[in-house]
Amino acid sequence: MFAVHLLSFYFSKLKEDQIKKVDRFLYAMRLSDDQLLDISARFRAEMEKGLNGESNPTAAVKMLPTHVLSTPDGSEKGEFLALDLGGSRFKVLQVKVSEDGKQKVEMESQTYPIPEETVNGRGTDLFNHVAESLKDFMQKNHINQKKKPLGFTFSFPCRQSKLDEGVLLSWSKNYKARGVQGANVVESLRQAIARAGGMDVEVLALVNDTVGTMMTCGYDDQHCEVGVIVGTGTNACYMEELRHIDLVEGDEGRMCINTEWGAFGDDGSLDDFITDFDREIDAASINPGKQLFEKMVSGMYMGELVRLILLKMTKQGLLFEGRASEALRTKGKFQTKHVALIEKYKEGLKNTRDILQDLGLNPSEDDCVAVQHVCTIVSFRSANLCAAALAAILTRLRENRKQKTLRTTVGVDGTVYRTHPQYPKRLHKVVRRLVPECHVRFVLSESGSGKGAAMVTAVAQRLVAQRGEIDSTLAPFALTQQQLQGVRDRMRAGLERGLRKDTHGTASVKMLPSYVYRTPDGTENGKYLALDLGGTNFRVLVVKIRSGLRKSVRMYNKIYAIPLEIMQGTGEELFDHIVQCISDFLDYMGMKNTCLPLGFTFSFPCRQTGIDKGTLVSWTKGFKATDCEGNDVVDMLREAIKRRNEFELDIVAVVNDTVGTMMTCAYEDPECEIGLIAGTGSNVCYMEEMRNIETVEGDEGRMCVNTEWGGLGENGSLEDIRTKYDREVDEGSLNVGKQRFEKMTSGMYLGEIVRQILTDLTRRGLLFRGHITECLKTRGIFETKFLSQIESDRLALLQVRSILKNLGLDSTCDDSIIVKEVCGAVSRRAAQLCGAGMAAVVEKIRENRGLDHLNITVGVDGTLYKLHPHFSGILKDTVRELAPKCDVTFVLSEDGSGKGAALITAVARGEI
C-alpha cells in the first residue's frame, strides 16, 4: 500500500516538475487577464480603423460590410439551394424552410471533394468544378422544375458592394487558384453555371462562412447577432449600426460586418505578443506577414505550432532524451486533431503516448506529461486570444446600445471548437471573465454555414417581399406634384365658396369673419386680461403692453388643466370651471377688484357678428360639452361670471387662436398678415379684402378671416387622396365625417393614423413578428409627440426601440426602421397638405392685390410645427413649389395666442 502511495506521489511530483519546465519554456504564451484586456482594447481600436472610411484602406482588420441587413425572425419560408466552399471539400445543399405555425428546416446535402490541382489551378476550373457538382446534385435530387434561389457561402475575404456581389481580396487556407483575386466571385459562379447548362438557379446572396454561422444560429435564437469560426481558419462577424459604417451609405438600421479578424496584428499591433514560434510558422506559410492572429489561433496552424515547440525542446535536450524522429522534423506531421486527442480528459496521456510513438518517438512518462502541457498552453492561448477579440465585439455591441448589461447569443462553428474537448469551456469562461457585464449564450451551429447561406437568401427574399408590401402600403401617402396642385386648387375653391353669400351656408371651409380689421401698428398700450382655451390646458394671463421707442409686452400667466369629464360634460360645468380658474388667477395676482379689458382666445370654429360676439359652430379637438354649439360663448362666459358673483370683467373680444397667433407675430413684423396653427388642430387665418367677404357689410379695407380650413373635404373633395387608415381614424373620432383635412394634418390625429398602419402591418406579419399587443389595439396610445421623437435625426434606432418598448411594443431593429418610415410618410403628407393649403391662401392674397409678386409673412404656432424635426421644412418647400410667385416668410410665435388676444383687445379699444 505504501508503494502505491509512493508511486502516486512520485508521479504527481513528476507531473508538477514537467509542467513547471514547460511553463518556463513557454512563458510568453501564458497570458494574464490584464494582457488579454490590453489585446481586447487593441482589437477595438482596429475595429474603429476598419469602420472608418479614411483609415480603412490601411487597416489590418478590414471590417467588411456584408450587406446582410437582418437576422432571421422566424417568418422565413421557401426552398433554397446553397453552396459551401471554404475548405478541402465542397458542399451542395437543398434547404426547405417552412413556417406552418412552427419553424422547421429540412436539408439534403452532398459533399464533393476538390482535387488539389483544382485548388491550385485556374480559377475557371475551380468554378467549373463547383458548377458541375451543383448540376450533379440537382439532377440526383430532381430539382429542375422551377427557378431556385441560391446562396453561396464563400469563406474567403471579399469586399461586397451588395449582397450578390463580392470581389475576392486574398486567398487563405492554402487556396491559390489563379485569376480569381480581384474578380467578382458571384459573376464567376454565374458564368460557370451558364457553361454547365441545364440549371435554372438565381444566385441571390454571397455569404462568408462566419455570417452563415450567425444566420444559422439566428434562426433558432433571435438574440444571436455574433458569429465566430474557430476551425481551419478563424473569423468573427457581428451586427453593427449602419451609422458607424463609413463604407456604405445610410444611417438607419444595422448590417452584418465580417471583421476578418484573422489579419489582426498584420500591422504590428500584436508584435509584443508574437513569439519566435509564431514567426517561424509565419515565415513557412504561403502568405508571410499576413493573417498573423489566425496563425496564433486556428486549427490550420495549431498542430504545426506544437510540432515546432516540441522540436525545439527536443533539440535543447528537454524532451525525448534529445532525440528527434524524422516525422517530428517534417512539417505538417503533427496535426491539430492530435492536440484535441492529447487533451482528452481521461485518455489524454494514453493518446499522447500513441501519437508520439506513431511519430517514431519513444516517449517516457514525463515526456508525455510535458507534451500534453505544451498542447494545453498552445490551445489555451488560442482560446484566450479568441476570447479577447470576442470581448471587444461584445463590448462594442453593448456600447452601441448604450446598455449597462448586454444579453446576446454567439453562434459558433469550426472543427477546433467542435472537436477539442476543452476549447469551448475555456473560451466561454474567459469571455465571461473579461466582460462580466455581457450575459452571453454560446450556441454551436449544428448545420454549418451552408444552411446559413440559405438563411441569408431566405431573409433577403423576406425583406424584398416585405419591402414590396410596405412600399405599397405607404405609397398612397406619397403625394405627387399633381395631387398637391389638386389640393391647392380645391382649397382655393373652398375659400371662395366660404366667402360667397350664396354658398357660405353649405361650404366646408367656413371662412368666418373675425371682425379684426387691422394688425397692430406699435401704438398699442395698457394692461389687459387674456384667456386662452383650445386644448386640455386653459391659460389665464395679464398682458402689459407699452408703446413708444422701447415698446414691449410683458406677461404673467398661470396654466390650468381641463379634465376630460369637464371637456365632455355640460356647457355650464365647462364655463363654471373656466371662471373658477380665472378667480384663482386674480387671487394669485391680487387683482380681484380690478376690472380689466379682456380678450378671450377660443380656439374653436365660431360664427361672429361682432368682435365680442361668437357663436360656436362645432366643437373640435375632443371637446364635447353639451348646450354650447349654436350659443354665444361670450354670453356663456358672462353668465358663469354672474353665477360666481366674485368679480367683473370687461370682455372686449373673442378671438380664434389662429388670429391671436397672427396678431402676436404682426406686432413684431408688419408684413405678417397670415396666421397658421399646426399643432393639436390645424387652421389658417389671413387678411381678406372686405369687398370679397359677402357675409359682412362694407367694401372698404380688410378683415381677418378665420378660414377653418380643417373642414376641407367634408363634401367629399379629398376622397381621391384619403386612405383606408384616414377613414378608420375618422370613424373612430367624436365628429365622424367632419374636419377631414384636419384629421390628415393635425397632431391630434397623426399618431392615430400611424397606429392604424402599424396594426395593419402587424396583422399582415410585417411588424413585431405578427404579434398584436393589447397596447397596439388601444386607440390614442401612439401620440403625435412620438412621431417627433422617432423622426429626430439625432435619435439612434436604439432609442426608437426604447420608445416602442415603453409603449409595450417589443421591436427588432428592422421593426424600428419600418416604424420610423411609417411616421415619416404620415408626417410628410401632413406637412405637404398644409403647404398646399397655404399656397392657395398666399396666391389668393397676391391676386386680390393685383401683384406679380407677393412678399408676406406667416405667423405660426403649434407643437407639430415647433417640435417635429422635418415638418416646417417640408411645409416651406411645398409652398415654394406650389406658389412660385410668392416669397413667404414663416415666423414662429414665441408667446402664443394669449398675447394675441390682448393685442386684439388693445387694437379694438384703440387705446394710445
- The answer to whether 776 touches 762, Cβ cutoff 8 Å, is yes
Strands (E), 224-374: 224-230, 234-241, 254-258
Average pLDDT over residues 661-684: 91
Tell whether the model's pLDDT for residue 519 goes beyond 90.
no
User: What is the structure's pLDDT at 99?
Assistant: 64
- The answer to whether 255 touches 816, Cβ cutoff 8 Å, is no
- Res. 900 pLDDT band, cuts 50 70 90: confident
Per annotation, catalytic residue among 84, 125, 657, 895: 657
**How many CA atoms within 13 Å lie on the side-chain side of 503?**
14
Spatial separation of the C-alpha atoms in residues 794 and 771, rounded to whole Å: 29
Spatial separation of the C-alpha atoms in residues 216 and 224, rounded to whole Å: 9
Q: Measured on CA atoms in the order 868, 872, 877, 881, is the torsion positive or negative?
A: positive
Is 162 or 548 the better-scoring residue by pLDDT?
162
Burial of 232 (0-12, 13-18, 19+ CB in 10 A): buried
Average pLDDT over residues 223-239: 93
- The answer to whether 614 touches 659, Cβ cutoff 8 Å, is no
- Out of 87-101, 172-186, 214-228, 674-688, give the one with best mean pLDDT: 674-688
User: What is the structure's pLDDT at 618?
Assistant: 87
User: What is the structure's pLDDT at 912?
Assistant: 32
Per annotation, catalytic residue among 603, 733, 816, 872: 603
Tell whether the model's pLDDT for residue 6 goes beyond 50.
no
Query: Which three three-digit cell numbers place residue 294?
Result: 489566425
Spatial separation of the C-alpha atoms in residues 670 and 681, rounded to whole Å: 26
Burial of 37 (0-12, 13-18, 19+ CB in 10 A): middle
Q: Catalytic annotation on 657? A: yes
Q: Catalytic annotation on 603? A: yes
Maximum Cα–Cα distance across the chain:
128
Spatial separation of the C-alpha atoms in residues 430 and 436, rounded to whole Å: 10
What's the mean pLDDT when you consider all of the chain? 89
Is 502 or 903 the better-scoring residue by pLDDT?
502
Whole-prediction pTM: 0.72
pLDDT tens for 866-883 read 999 999 999 999 999 999
Buried b (16+ CB within 10 A) or exposed e, 428-451: bebbeebbeebebebbebebbbbb
Instruction: Give the neighbor-by-neighbor strand order of the sheet with 148-154.
Output: 103-113, 89-99, 78-85, 148-154, 201-207
User: What is the structure's pLDDT at 61?
Assistant: 95
Spatial separation of the C-alpha atoms in residues 599 and 664, rounded to whole Å: 13
- Res. 457 pLDDT band, cuts 50 70 90: confident
Q: Strands 438-444, 512-513: parallel, antiparallel or unpaired by DSSP?
A: unpaired
pLDDT tens for 13-64 read 445 677 888 888 888 899 999 999 999 999 999 999 999 989 999 999 999 9
Spatial separation of the C-alpha atoms in residues 174 and 701, rounded to whole Å: 91
Listed in sequence order, the residues at least 6 apart from 79 whose beta carbon sits closer than 8 Å to its beta carbon are 94, 95, 96, 97, 148
Nearest-5° angle of CA 773, CA 776, CA 779? 140
Spatial separation of the C-alpha atoms in residues 666 and 660, rounded to whole Å: 10
Per annotation, catalytic residue among 42, 539, 702, 755: 539
DSSP states of 460-491 = HHHHHHHHHHHHHHHGGGS--HHHHHHHHHHH
Q: Which of 64-73, 93-102, 561-570, 764-773 has the lowest mean pLDDT?
A: 93-102
The residues pairing with 154 across neighbouring beta strands, listed in sequence order, are 85
Which amino acid makes up residue 726? D
Cβ neighbour number for residue 239 with a 10 Å cutoff: 25
pLDDT tens for 374-432 read 999 999 999 999 999 999 999 999 998 888 999 999 999 999 999 999 999 999 999 99
